[in-house]
Structure 1
Amino acid sequence: MKQTSEILCIGSVLWDVIGRTASHMRVGSDVPGRIHRLPGGVAMNIAMTLVRFGLRPVLLSAVGRDAEGDELVAEAGRMGMETAHLYRSDDLPTDIYMAIEGANGLIAAIADAHSLEQAGDKILRPLADGRLGTPGAPWEGLVALDGNLTVELLGQIAESDLFARADLRVAPASPGKAERLLALMGHPSATLYVNLEEAGLLCHATFESSEAAARALVTRGAHRALVTDGGRAATVATQDSCFTQTPPEVLVTRVTGAGDTFMAAHIASEAEGMDPNAALRRALVAAATYVSGDNPL
């Protein structure tokens, strides 16, 4: 079957409500700052970066038929994403994420992705009904998959014929959901994008470096692992290779979405045919630029 787009983005598509302040914060702080509402969610954040690299992502997610959902879908379309295959629910509200960021980093966040979780495998219907694929002629391209999906659905994806020929790129939505990715640990084409904390949760261990973490993930069955560690060295590991690079030093002004930007930039770079070292370098530069606030959301 002829594919309809270069990459599928499967997972959370929602509104981010982010409060940012230049002050250091602690529990109970009440400080001046700015509050922004913008399109977000792991799948959406990845898609936004892919668009900036010239790709046209297809969104597979659950979005309510409420005013917030209509506005979100319209904005995604305006940015250049394919929204025709979203599951639009009459009964489920559009999901939302709320975070507080201070000068000392992310203070707290709550992700309300209950509608995505309740929609379950309904979001995958286009991959089975002929719009994007069928069990006999599955999608053969890139798939960015996020850990906001339930453990049950991730397990289903790991074993499904609908993904048998896909190049899966997988990221947890947060450290709190990292262990959901265990279902995909042995998938023959899945690349895991995790930070040092998330790697530790997947391996039930503590690591001092991204290299140690990436090697451990591969030993545990990951096809390929990319491990980041903030401003410290990041590592790519497979069964046959392992290499590390250090990101550029920048002044951090925001953190929400940095990992998604890194992942999308790496996917786009490899889609363009860059060699592994060049792809990692470009992704690290893209993430550093993002956290410095020098490029638009």
Structure 2
Amino acid sequence: MGWRRYARRVIATLGDLIDDVVVWAQGPVRRGTDTPARIHRRRGGSAANVASMVARCGGAVRFIGAVGDDGVADRLVDQLAADGVDVVVERVAGRSTGTIVVLVDPVDGERSFLTDRGACDHLATPRTEWLDGVAALHLPLYSFSHEPLSATATSVALAARHRGVQLTIDASSTGAIEDLGVAEALAVIEVLAPDALLANAEEARLLGVGTDRPARGPVRSVIRHGAEPTLVVDADGRTTTIPVPPVEDVVDTTGAGDGFAAGWLLARHRGASAEDAVVEGHAVAARVLRRPGADLAPAVPPTPAPGVEHS
């Protein structure tokens, strides 16, 4: 697909566009028999989620990724474009579009993922035009999990750095870090030296990033601790804590981290300080938490799960 020419500078994301099947069981899963559930099918993928949320918050944004040559891809691309995203995808013949089954715990709203990455990993031909008009590039760590996507993401990130584009890396999940390997994940972060590394507390702990230990490479690490204050660790070790407003009527934690990333990117793109960008990140994340799946589209939520806090 082609891309639109923007009069203003663009935020770009590179990574996964996936079919999310979000399952809310009405009670504990009963092994070997039926469990009543509410099931929602939505456009997903961390990079696509962030792009959609940036667009819905009024930002100019481009998504770059790979999908299968199938009807699922048509639906997902159309949905993302309808959100206002400039969608640039490679269609991979012989591969199905990626799918994730998201299992939402009926008690605390925590989610677990069953993932078939499909065509996502087959973004294989980086193009310099992808960065035309781009001011900021966001890369989930998922984009470095498999080849040839990882090589493409690395190539685009280095080209972005050469152009002076702001770079953000999201740690994605503990599973993504473990699958890639902690040492390799840290090597990616150090080599690409992003302006910001975004992570939740568990991801930061796995990477060895904490209060007095910034990650090697990033200008700053932004570490979310759920409902507890978020920690910003600068490269020199200086730390700042920013409180998180409480969120009422939480129905699903899926995509809260992507919402935070979208708010952070938009705020920084508009010249906000790191502290103010954290506040904006949590404001967007709060909107996501009140909807099923990783989406800012208006929705009628089901009965909230009790005691859920966002991550």
- What interval of TM-score do these two structures reach, taking the shorter chain for normalisation? 0.7 to 0.9
**Residue 263 of structure 1 pairs with residue 264 of structure 2:** no
Root-mean-square deviation (CA, aligned residues, Å) is 2.7
- Name the SS for the 2:110 alignment partner: strand
* Map 1:114-193 → 2, pairs under 5 A: 114-117=118-121, 119-122=122-125, 124-125=126-127, 128=128, 130=129, 132-133=131-132, 141-151=135-145, 153=150, 156-157=154-155, 160-164=158-162, 165-178=164-177, 179=182, 181-182=185-186, 183-193=188-198
Q: Is the 8 A contact 1:185 1:223 kept in 2?
A: no
Shift of 1:293: 3.3
- Counterpart of 1:236 in structure 2 is 232
Over residues 90-129 of structure 1, what are the superposed CA-to-partner deviations in whole Å (9 max), with x where a residue is unaligned? 2221111111112223253112224222x1432x32xx2x
- Counterpart of 2:308 in structure 1 is none
Identical-pair percentage: 24
Distance 1:27 1:201 in 2: 32
- Name the SS for the 1:61 alignment partner: strand
Q: Is the 8 A contact 1:166 1:189 kept in 2?
A: no
Q: Is the 8 A contact 2:50 2:261 kept in 1?
A: yes
- The one-letter code sitting in structure 2 at the alignment partner of 1:42 is S
Q: Is the 8 A contact 2:194 2:217 kept in 1?
A: no
- Name the SS for the 2:245 alignment partner: coil
- Counterpart of 1:88 in structure 2 is 91
Shift of 1:131: 5.5
* Map 1:14-163 → 2, pairs under 5 A: 14-21=18-25, 23=27, 25=28, 28=31, 31-83=35-87, 85-101=88-104, 102-117=106-121, 119-122=122-125, 124-125=126-127, 128=128, 130=129, 132-133=131-132, 141-151=135-145, 153=150, 156-157=154-155, 160-163=158-161
Per the alignment, do residues 99 and 131 of structure 1 end up closer, same or farther by CA in structure 2, a change over 3 Å counting? closer
Per the alignment, do residues 38 and 290 of structure 1 end up closer, same or farther by CA in structure 2, a change over 3 Å counting? same
Shift of 1:239: 2.4
- Name the SS for the 2:213 alignment partner: helix
- The one-letter code sitting in structure 2 at the alignment partner of 1:222 is P
Distance 1:107 1:7 in 2: 28
Normalising by structure 2, what TM-score?
0.78
- Counterpart of 2:305 in structure 1 is none
Shift of 1:26: 6.3
Per the alignment, do residues 121 and 258 of structure 1 end up closer, same or farther by CA in structure 2, a change over 3 Å counting? same
Distance 1:107 1:60 in 2: 26
Distance 1:232 1:250 in 2: 12
Distance 1:187 1:131 in 2: 18
Q: Is the 8 A contact 1:236 1:242 kept in 2?
A: yes
Shift of 1:287: 1.4
- Counterpart of 2:284 in structure 1 is 286
Provide structure 2 residue ranges, at least 5 long, that are not aligned to the other structure: 299-311
Shift of 1:217: 3.0
Distance 1:52 1:159 in 2: 25
Distance 1:156 1:168 in 2: 12
Normalising by structure 1, what TM-score?
0.82
- More displaced 10-residue stretch of structure 1: 286-295 or 244-253: 286-295
Q: Is the 8 A contact 2:157 2:167 kept in 1?
A: no
Distance 1:282 1:156 in 2: 28
- The one-letter code sitting in structure 2 at the alignment partner of 1:76 is L
Over residues 227-251 of structure 1, what are the superposed CA-to-partner deviations in whole Å (9 max), with x where a residue is unaligned? 1111111111212432112212224
Per the alignment, do residues 162 and 276 of structure 1 end up closer, same or farther by CA in structure 2, a change over 3 Å counting? closer
Over residues 137-163 of structure 1, what are the superposed CA-to-partner deviations in whole Å (9 max), with x where a residue is unaligned? xx7610011122235626834883454
Q: Is the 8 A contact 1:103 1:253 kept in 2?
A: no
- Name the SS for the 2:192 alignment partner: coil
Distance 2:284 2:226 in 1: 13
- The one-letter code sitting in structure 1 at the alignment partner of 2:206 is L
Per the alignment, do residues 159 and 272 of structure 1 end up closer, same or farther by CA in structure 2, a change over 3 Å counting? closer
Distance 1:45 1:245 in 2: 24
